[in-house]
Structure 1
C-alpha cells in the first residue's frame, strides 16, 4: 500500500467498526487482571487451565534461568539446541502418544514450516474454510493446489480427495475452531486420510491440555492413530507458557528438521521456557480438577445466558462465542461490559464472516462461580 493511502485506509477501518486497538495488561495473565490501570474480570485469554501465573511455573523458570541462562543464542541446527529442548521434545512425544516431536517458536511458525516442507507445486491441499490464518497462509506459501471445503463437511472433503490427480495430498484442519469453539470430525478425517494415502495435519492449539485423557489432546480424545496424522499444538494457551510443537512419526519429524524453514532459519526458543514447560506438562497431567472446573463453568455460563436475544454458538469447549451480528452492536456491548469491569473481546470481520460479529467468551479453570454470575447478569441487563 502506498504511504499516502494509509490514512484513508485506516479511516475506513474506523468507520466500519473494524479498527483494532491494543489493551495493556499491568498484571500477570489470569481470570482477574489490571488493564490500563483498571481491574477487570477477564474472559479474553486462552489461559484455559489457569497456569500462566502458576507459582510452580514461576519457580521452574527461576531455576531454569540459573541453569540455562536467558537466550537461545542460535538456531537449533547451529548451536541453539539445549538439553532442556531435548527433554521437552521427548516428554511431549510421550504425552501425545507419538513417535517424536519438534519444537517451534510458535504455532504460526509450526504450521508454516510443516506445510511448506511437505507439499509444493503439483501437490494438493484440502482445507476447512474456517481454518486458522496460519494454516491458510501456509497453504498459499506452499504453492500447492489449495482447495477449501465447507466447514466440517466430510462428504465434500471425500469428493475432493476422490477426484484429485495429485500424488502427494495434505488435509489441514483445526481440531478445535478458535472463533466457533466447535471441534473437527477427527475420526472421519483420519479414515479419509488413510483411505486416500493423504497426510492429515491437525492444529490442536485450543484442544491440547483441555481435551482427551489427562489433557493429551484431540487425537487421543478420539482414540485414533495413524502414520499419516501430524499433530500440532501450541504451548502458550492451556500450557500457560509459549511455543509450539509438531508430533508424528520419526521420519516425518526428521524431514521437518531438514526442510522446515521456520525451524531451520530462526533462533531457538529460550531453554528456560522449555524447562518451564516440563513442569507445565506435569501439572496438566496431574491436576484433572482443572478440566473438571472448566466443564463446570461452561455449563454455568450456558445456563446463565439462556433467553438472550443473542445466541451462543454450539460449543462444549472453553471458547463460547456469543453472536451479536452487527460490528457496531458488538463493539457497543463489549464497551458496556468493560465499563462494568468485564473484559470480553469483540471479534469482527475479517476474522469471522460478515454479519457474525461476536463476543468471544474464553473461560478458564481460574474463574470462580461469582465471575460467571457477574458476566451473565451483565449480559442479561444489556439485552434488556
Structure 2
C-alpha cells in the first residue's frame, strides 16, 4: 500500500474556507488597558471591573496569598479567603452553601455531571449555554432537549420518564436573547415529578432580584431544597470564577464527585478577592442593579427592539452573518464596540448585534450610543 504524504491537519484548510465563505470565521482582537471605544459588548453589567475597591480587593489578596492558588483546592489551593467568600456569597443569595470553581463553565460542568449520571433523565432548554450542553454530553444520562421556555414540554418529559432520577436545566436569563426563564412554573413541575432544578444565573445574578440577588430570589425560590444555582463572578462582579450554590449536601457531594473541582487548580486568590470586594460594593449600592435595567431599556428603544428588555442584554436580530458583521464593524468604526453573535452561538438566520448595558454608563456615552446605533441600524435594515 502506498502511503500518502499529507499532513494529518490538511482538512483544517477546507474547514477554514467553508467558515470564511459562510461568514463564520472568528478572530481574536486584543484590547488596550483603557479602550478608546464605548463598550457595549462586555458582560461587566455593573461596571465593577474597574472599580477602585474591586481592584484593591484583588491587589490585597495578591499580596497576602500570592499570584496563584498553587494547586487544586483539595491539595493546597483552598484558602481561608475562598471559604470566607463562599459564605458571604451564599448569605447574599439566600443559599445554604457555595462552592467556588475556576470558572462559570467548570461550575456548570461540575454541577450537572455530578448530580446526574446513568439512570438519570436530564431535561434541558434548547437555548441553554454551551457549558450546559457540554455537561449534558458528559453526564452519561439520557438527555431530552425541550423547546425554549416550554414548561408543558418539560412536564411531558418528566411524566413519561422511566429513570429513577431527573434533573431540569435552564438559564435564568438566556445569554443571547436576554429573556427570562419561567422559573416558578418550572419549579412547580419539578416538585410534582420529584426532579431537581439547576439554574444557571450567570446573567441574572447582579441584575435581577432584590439588590441583584438573582431571578431565583425574585421568584421566591432562594434557598429551596430542590434547587441548585450556578453563578459566575466574571460578569456582574467584574472578576473571574464561578460557583455552585445550594444545600450543604450538594456542596459536600461536589467536593467528592465533581471532576472540574477535584482536578482543576483552585481559583487564583486575586480573583476571589476582587469578586468579594465587588459583592460588598453591590450590597452597599443596590441601585446598580436598577440602573443597568434602565439603560438596557433605553438602548432597546434606540434600536427599535419591540420588547422591553428584562435583563442587561439587548438583542438586535439582523439575519445573516454578513449583515451583523458589517453592522458591528460600522459601530466600532464610529467608536462603539458591540457584540456580534452568529451561528453556532445562535440559530441560523438570527445573527445579531448583542448589546449589553452597564450601570456605570454616563450621559455622554449614552448620547454617543444613540447617535451611532441609530445611523448604523438604519443602514443595516435597508
Provide TM-score, normalisation by structure 2.
0.94
Q: Of 208, 221, 246, which aligns to 1:248?
A: 246
Q: Find out whether 1:76 has 2:73 as its counterpart.
A: yes
Matched-pair contact (CA < 8 Å) for 1:297–1:369: no
* Range that drifts further, 232-241 or 327-336: 327-336
Corresponding residue number in structure 2 for 1:176: 173
- CA displacement at 1:143 relative to structure 2: 1.0
Corresponding residue number in structure 2 for 1:36: none
Q: Kindly report the root-mean-square deviation, in angstroms, between the aligned alpha carbons of the 2 structures.
A: 1.5
Corresponding residue number in structure 2 for 1:151: 148
Q: Find out whether 1:19 has 2:25 as its counterpart.
A: yes
Provide the rounded CA distance (Å) in 2 between the counterparts of 1:80 and 1:302: 43
Provide the rounded CA distance (Å) in 2 between the counterparts of 1:314 and 1:182: 10
1:280-299 equivalences in 2 (<5 Å):
280-299=278-297
Corresponding residue number in structure 2 for 1:10: 16
Provide the rounded CA distance (Å) in 2 between the counterparts of 1:249 and 1:82: 22
- CA displacement at 1:375 relative to structure 2: 2.4
Corresponding residue number in structure 1 for 2:54: 57
Q: Of 294, 304, 309, which aligns to 1:315?
A: 309
Provide the rounded CA distance (Å) in 2 between the counterparts of 1:277 and 1:335: 32
Corresponding residue number in structure 1 for 2:93: 96
Provide the rounded CA distance (Å) in 1 between the counterparts of 2:84 and 2:150: 39
Corresponding residue number in structure 2 for 1:338: 332
- CA displacement at 1:313 relative to structure 2: 5.9
Matched-pair contact (CA < 8 Å) for 1:117–1:256: yes
Corresponding residue number in structure 1 for 2:277: 279
Matched-pair contact (CA < 8 Å) for 1:313–1:320: no
Provide the rounded CA distance (Å) in 1 between the counterparts of 2:115 and 2:151: 23
Structure 2 counterpart SS, 1:151 = coil
Provide the rounded CA distance (Å) in 1 between the counterparts of 2:14 and 2:342: 20
Corresponding residue number in structure 2 for 1:189: 186
Q: Find out whether 1:45 has 2:39 as its counterpart.
A: no
Q: Of 103, 112, 115, which aligns to 2:112?
A: 115
Matched-pair contact (CA < 8 Å) for 2:101–2:243: yes
Matched-pair contact (CA < 8 Å) for 1:179–1:321: yes
Count of residue pairs the alignment pairs up? 371
Q: Of 368, 377, 382, which aligns to 2:371?
A: 377
Provide the rounded CA distance (Å) in 1 between the counterparts of 2:64 and 2:132: 36
C-alpha deviations, 1:307-366, integer Å up to 9, x for none?
xxxx56652211000000011111111111111111112110110000000000011012
* Range that drifts further, 130-139 or 115-124: 115-124
Q: Of 285, 299, 302, which aligns to 2:300?
A: 302
Q: Find out whether 1:236 has 2:234 as its counterpart.
A: yes
Give runs of ≥4 in structure 1 deviating > 4 Å: 311-314
C-alpha deviations, 1:203-239, integer Å up to 9, x for none?
0001111111111111101112421100000001000
C-alpha deviations, 1:237-268, integer Å up to 9, x for none?
00011101001111111001100000000111
- Unaligned stretches of 5+ in structure 1? 34-38
Provide the rounded CA distance (Å) in 1 between the counterparts of 2:363 and 2:182: 32
- CA displacement at 1:2 relative to structure 2: 4.3
1:254-269 equivalences in 2 (<5 Å):
254-269=252-267
Provide the rounded CA distance (Å) in 2 between the counterparts of 1:296 and 1:315: 9
Provide the rounded CA distance (Å) in 2 between the counterparts of 1:334 and 1:79: 45
Structure 1 counterpart SS, 2:24 = coil
Structure 1 counterpart SS, 2:59 = helix
Provide the rounded CA distance (Å) in 2 between the counterparts of 1:367 and 1:295: 12
- CA displacement at 1:286 relative to structure 2: 1.2
